[in-house]
Amino acid sequence: MAANGTTHSHNPERYACVHQIYGANSIRNTLQQLPIHLRAEAAESLYYEAKCRIEDPVYGCAGIISQLHQQIHNAESQVAKVRAQIAFLNFNAHEMDSNTNNLIQGHSNIG
């Protein structure tokens, strides 16, 4: 769809996709209600949503959003585990340094 609400003649696949889900009149009316500077972005969004709905009729874009939320959750969990491991290693390294210093001081006090 062009910014003025008409279809791009050079991309009939996109038009067919949007038309299949929303219908031509609905899209034209929707886009004509928007300010001209927003129509191209709205048409892109409608195309993307229609494409997702065709690929996944049950969940559409919501399925993709759910997958991305799960990936974010998994990544946050991994980051938390790595931070805990780093804290554990830093604590152990500090303890080892402290024990080594105590041993060195103990030997220097003996001699």
- pLDDT score of 108: 59
Range of the domain at 30: 1-55
What's the number of domains the chain is made of? Answer: 2
The reported pLDDT for the residue numbered 79 is 98
Supply 59's token pair.
């969940």
Same domain, 25 and 45: yes
CA–CA distance, 60 with 68 (Å, rounded to integer): 13
Question: What pLDDT does 100 receive?
Answer: 74
The type of residue at 62 is A
5 in Cβ contact with 39 (< 8 Å) = yes
Specify whether 29 is located in the same domain as 65. no
**How would residue 21 be classed by pLDDT, with cut points 50, 70 and 90?**
very high
Kindly state whether residues 44 and 72 are assigned to the same domain. Answer: no
Are residues 102 and 67 part of one domain? yes
82 and 110, same domain (yes or no): yes
Give mean pLDDT, residues 15-31.
Answer: 90
For 26-77, the pLDDT digits (tens) are 989 999 999 999 999 999 999 999 999 999 999 999 999 999 999 999 999 9
Do 1 and 51 lie in a common domain?
A: yes
Q: What percentage of the chain carries pLDDT values higher than 90?
A: 62
Q: Backbone phi, then psi, for 102, in 5-degree steps?
A: -65, -40
Q: What pLDDT shows up at residue 37?
A: 96
What is the band of 1 on the pLDDT scale with cuts at 50, 70, 90? Answer: very low
The answer to whether residues 14 and 28 belong to one domain is yes
Residues 6 and 49 in one domain: yes
The most confident of the ranges 41-45, 74-78, 94-98, 105-109 is 74-78
Residues 9 and 47 in one domain: yes
72 and 93 belong to one structural domain: yes
Whether 34 and 51 share a structural domain: yes
Among residues 55, 73, 93, which one ends one of the domains? 55
Mean pLDDT across the chain? 85
Tell me: do 42 and 74 sit in the same domain.
no
Q: Is 43 helix (H, G, I), strand (E, B) or coil?
A: helix
Nearest to 5, CA basis, from 50, 45, 36, 48 = 36
